[in-house]
Structure 1
Amino acid sequence: MSTARDLMIVTLDVTPGRPVESGDLSLALAGAELIDLNTDESLTLDGDRILPNVRLPQTDPLLDEASAALLREEPYEPVEEWLWRRGQGLSKAYVAVLEAEGQIARQRGRWIPVRTGRTALVDSPARQRAGARWAAGEPVLAALAAAVGIRDLPVEDDPGLTDESRLTVLAAVHDAVMELEGVRQRRKIEDAAFDNIWRGQ
């Protein structure tokens, strides 16, 4: 079970104070993939640069896809660039894979017995493992969840996070999510200004 899958399952399982933005989640999932690939030594980090090692086959298809997507030529890719490149639409890809595997199912309407667009987790060993990791407050999962707004936990405040490579990735995820939020806020301001111009005519 990968950290990215666990994060996806936790996101679907936990009701946050506000809905999780798919862009934020995609960035965090890309970061989770890097952490897992670093853990199994498929890559190392030199500062913020991703140095791929010999490609190892992954049992998780999306993690294997991530391994294949690593840039293998100098000067190598910075973590932040990976997050934006790999993260594009990644949350939808994880939902699609989990749905195809029967880990999640489309809910049926209350009054009309047709499937709706809402998804729900089914009870499965994967859900139980992710839930146990979440309940235990596993530092990496907790930090990724904090980055997307599920849990209020600054990365630097968790004493369980001491690995420099993990901290580098988690900090990059946090910065990328903040940057994306800044883009959203600018668009809101621009849209409001545009609406005001039209109303003023």
Structure 2
Amino acid sequence: MTTAQDLLFVAMDLPSTRSLERGDLSLALAGAELIDLLGLGAVTLDGEFVLPTGRSVAADPLLELAAAAVAPVADGETVEDWLWRRGRGLPDTYIAALEADGLLGREQRRRYLVLRTSRMVLRDSDGRRRAAHRWAADEPTLLALAAAIGISGPPPVPEPAPGPVATVVTAVRHAVDELAAERSRRSRRLDEANQTYVRRGF
């Protein structure tokens, strides 16, 4: 299992201190992939730039896709650029992989005697237990990524040691804050538009 998979397990298993936004999760999953690629030596950081090393990744199919998506050295790409580009639609990709592996299923529920509904639930698995173990062990990388999207364990949240991992975690936090600011601006513009409609009698 990978850090991104562990983060998704944690996100689905634990309560968040705020509504968990899909965009935030997308950024954090992309950050988790980048951290694993750094650990495997498939990429390196030159300051804020992500550079491929050419080393193959055979650890996980989704990590292989992530490694293949790294921009060529000639193009250059910052960590934040990577998060925004790679993160697009990433939760759906990981959820589909969990379903394909039989790690995610539908729980059937009955409402009002006649209606049946279902919701997606995690099934017990080695991967889910591994994620829970990393969380219980206060593993700094996992806890820092989770905290960036509003999922916090007992304080204080341990920080990754200074270095490439800490650079990625900082970039995730900055990108999540930027996304939150954009949501706030959109909400404010919508409120202002609604007030204008009210004043005009619409």
Structure-1-length-normalised TM-score: 0.92
Aligned match of 1:187: 186
Count residues with an aligned counterpart. Answer: 198
The separation in 1 between residues aligned to 2:97 and 2:10, in whole angstroms, is 15
CA contact (8 A) 1:6 1:130 kept: yes
The separation in 2 between residues aligned to 1:30 and 1:11, in whole angstroms, is 14
Of structures 1 and 2, the larger Rg is shown by: 2
SS of 1:58's equivalent in the other structure is coil
Asked if residue 132 in structure 1 is aligned to residue 133 in structure 2, the reply is yes
The separation in 2 between residues aligned to 1:36 and 1:84, in whole angstroms, is 17
Aligned match of 2:50: 50
Q: Deviations over 1:54-96 (max 9, x none)?
A: 1413332211110110011325210000000000111111111
SS of 1:190's equivalent in the other structure is helix
The separation in 1 between residues aligned to 2:87 and 2:40, in whole angstroms, is 20
SS of 2:183's equivalent in the other structure is helix
CA contact (8 A) 2:104 2:122 kept: yes
Unaligned runs of 5+ in 1: none
Aligned match of 1:106: 106
Q: After the TM superposition, which of the residue ranges 69-78 and 175-184 deviates more from structure 2? A: 69-78
Question: Kindly, what percent of the aligned residue pairs are identical?
Answer: 45
CA contact (8 A) 1:55 1:68 kept: no
Q: Deviations over 1:125-165 (max 9, x none)?
A: 1101111001111000000000000017899x735x21410
The separation in 2 between residues aligned to 1:39 and 1:103, in whole angstroms, is 25
The separation in 2 between residues aligned to 1:177 and 1:171, in whole angstroms, is 10
CA contact (8 A) 2:143 2:158 kept: no
CA contact (8 A) 2:27 2:83 kept: yes
- Runs of 4+, deviation exceeding 6 Å: 152-155
The amino acid across from 1:189 in the alignment is R
- Give how far 1:51 is off: 1.1
Unaligned runs of 5+ in 2: none
The separation in 2 between residues aligned to 1:86 and 1:127, in whole angstroms, is 24
- Give how far 1:97 is off: 0.9
